Amino acid sequence: TALAEIRRSSWCDENITQSSTRILIRILTDFQQRLDGFSHLTPWIVNLLAHRASVVRNRRESARREALPIVQSFRRALHLLAGGLFLPSSEGIRDPCETPKSVHVHHRLSSAQQEQLCCAAQTMLRLLSHGAHKEILTVNKDCSIDFNATLNCGGVIVSPSFMVNQKPQPTNSSKEQSTSKPDPITDDHPTPSS
């Protein structure tokens, strides 16, 4: 609604003041537009995730918050997503603009979308660990990373993460087993009953 958008806009004006947070928002928005695994992120979720990843409390003064450098913020955002921040049973990020503070922003996503986001972030971290910074942060809008295929990163093969709750597709061998004739050895002999 319009009131919710006004509350979110004022929250962003007050809390997103650090340059590293703004740069991280641009990077995550680019991922959301360019990569299938991140396409379910909304602009509001991107803003909250970028704020969560880039702003930390000062150890000496708990009321004071400090911004991390962009490199640490970017990696931390991927670590949060890959670690399951937005999975169904996780704490996630609470919406600071909703009246009951128990509303989590990731509940707007389906379970499959939440898991796809987690798998995509895990694959991105694997790519980063093998030095695929240029492939990930490309300026070429036509370049896309296929999260369903094995990726070659400088001679290193990176396998994508697979969703745990994904329903298995029936294979030809399972169809053949269901239409095959009964086994005479097991079907002719009754099983012992207790």
State the pLDDT confidence band at 72, using cuts at 50, 70 and 90: very high
pLDDT, the chain, mean? 78
79 vs 91, more confident: 79
pLDDT band at 168 (very low <50, low <70, confident <90, very high): very low
pLDDT band at 52 (very low <50, low <70, confident <90, very high): very high
Helix, strand, or coil here: 152?
A: strand
- Which of the residue ranges 36-45, 56-65, 160-169, 181-190 would you say has the lowest mean pLDDT? 181-190
**4 pLDDT exceeds 80?**
yes
Average pLDDT over residues 170-187: 49
pLDDT grade for 28, boundaries at 50, 70 and 90: very high
pLDDT, tens digit, for every residue of 104-129?
888 888 888 999 899 889 988 988 88
Q: At what angle are helices 70-82 and 19-34 packed, to 10 degrees?
A: 50
> Do residues 148 and 101 touch, judged by C-beta distance below 8 A?
no
pLDDT at res. 41:
93
pTM, two decimals, is 0.74
Per-residue confidence (pLDDT) for residue 126, from 0 to 100: 86
Query: Who wins on pLDDT, 42 or 91?
Result: 42
Q: Which of 65, 34, 37 is nearest to 140 (CA)?
A: 34
DSSP 33-73: HH-GGGTT--HHHHHHHHHHHHEEE-SS-TT-EEEPPHHHH
What pLDDT is attached to residue 66? 83
**Residue 150 and residue 176: Cα distance in Å, rounded?**
29
Q: Bigger pLDDT: 45 or 193?
A: 45
